Amino acid sequence: MNWTPTLVEERLAEAADTLRRLPEAKVQGHASTWPPYIQESLSAEDATFRRPPPSAAAITRMDEALPWLQQLDQVDAKIVWLRAKGKPWKIVCWNVGLSRATAHRHWMFALCLISWKLNGKRIPKNISLRQILDVRKMQ
């Protein structure tokens, strides 16, 4: 498979969605002392409709994709993950303290780096963000 930044972005978005759909972890050993009829009325009011749990294949793809973020700079990984979760650019920029244009360049740079590594290409040590983005435009 020839990885592109778009495919990497889609896989990370799927991983974020899969992670969101996993069942919640419940603390064992805690019980409510409220009568059952109150518990039922509360659970009916606060019911949130969730999509079905993810498939085993989706969980496997998520497990493959999440380590990709560890290869990135901390700020770049945060930008990529926030975008994978569907956060708007305004929220991303507030979280990382960068302008919209700079955050977008970091995001594209990170996706290109991941796709290069997945394709087995060696990344030159002295390559700049601008050079990687220029190479991507030429492809």
Cα–Cα distance for residue pair 6/37, rounded to 1 Å = 50
How far is CA 23 from its chain centroid?
18
What lies within 8 Å, CB to CB, of 17 at 6+ separation is 54
Residue at 114: amino acid letter: I
What SS3 class is residue 80? helix
pLDDT in tens, 29-88: 666 666 666 666 555 555 566 788 899 999 999 999 999 999 999 999 999 999 999 999
pLDDT in tens, 78-118: 999 999 999 999 999 999 999 999 999 999 999 988 998 99
